[in-house]
Amino acid sequence: GQQLNQSPQSMFIQEGEDVSMNCTSSSIFNTWLWYKQDPGEGPVLLIALYKAGELTSNGRLTAQFGITRKDSFLNISASIPSDVGIYFCAGPYTGGFKTIFGAGTRLFVKA
Amino acid sequence: SAVISQKPSRDICQRGTSLTIQCQVDSQVTMMFWYRQQPGQSLTLIATANQGSEATYESGFVIDKFPISRPNLTFSTLTVSNMSPEDSSIYLCSVEAGQGMSTDTQYFGPGTRLTVL
């Protein structure tokens, strides 16, 4: 079935550094979603991408929908301590309404 | 987007008991989803709940263990039955906001953190 491979699994960075994480699949996705989950909370949608090649920003976050529709990346610029959390990529099953999630990238930011 | 609330936010339960989790949405939605997130893991879909029909369960999840109600377009409940310590997880309610196409996005409630002793 469709799977999302997310990397890296975790990142330890210094405040102010830029961060890049990505998500790949052997299957084509029509939508790529990036969520952030703070400790003890539900995931919050950061960016939604609907078109191959699309590049979208949300403040210090930038995400791109790969041209092959099989990958996406999320960049965070000038990281701050509140960026700490788990970042999930996600996408709906082709032809269905379910959404599948990557394993998550755990981000730790040292002040 | 949609605003989703869940009750309880957390609970500690004894083995063999059952817990019902409530999910309330601030707008009418067609599809509601229940996820489980085991400690340190990603989200796993338990079932999809549509109003007026039985929930559709994913492989590995059964109605007897996780009965779901969907009495109207803004509310759903998930019951975790005959609990064991392996059921200790965060349970998340989610809704799909949009036109019902596969390009719609999902929004999540804050989750219910369940610990089974």
Q: Smallest Cα–Cα separation from A42: which of B93, B8, B33, B38? A: B93
pLDDT at A30 over 80: yes
Cβ A103–B42 below 8 Å, yes or no? yes
Please give the pLDDT value at position A92: 82
Residue A16 confidence (pLDDT) above 60: yes
pLDDT tens-digit profile of A95-107?
556 788 999 999 9
Mean pLDDT of A46-72: 95
CB B18 within 8 A of CB B88: no
- Place A6 in a pLDDT band, splitting at 50, 70 and 90: very high
pLDDT at B53: 82
A33/B contact by beta carbon, under 8 A: yes
Query: What does the pLDDT read at residue B102?
Result: 47
Q: Count CB atoms within 10 A of the CB of residue B5.
A: 13
> Does B101 have pLDDT greater than 70?
no
CB distance from A108 to chain B under 8 Å? no
Per-residue model confidence (pLDDT) at position A97: 63
DSSP string of A30-59, one letter each residue: S-EEEEEE-TTS--EEEEEE-STT-EEEET
A93 and B CB contact within 8 Å: yes
- A42 contact residues in B (CB cutoff 8 A): 4, 92, 108-111
Strands A32-37 and A44-49: antiparallel
Q: Is the confidence at residue B50, as pLDDT, over 90?
A: no
Reference B41, options B89, B84, B106; nearest CA is B89
B20 pLDDT tier (thresholds 50, 70, 90)? very high
> CB of A50 within 8 Å of any CB in chain B?
yes
Q: Residue B105 and residue A33: Cβ atoms within 8 Å?
A: yes
User: Distance between CA B63 and CA B40 in Å, rounded?
Assistant: 25
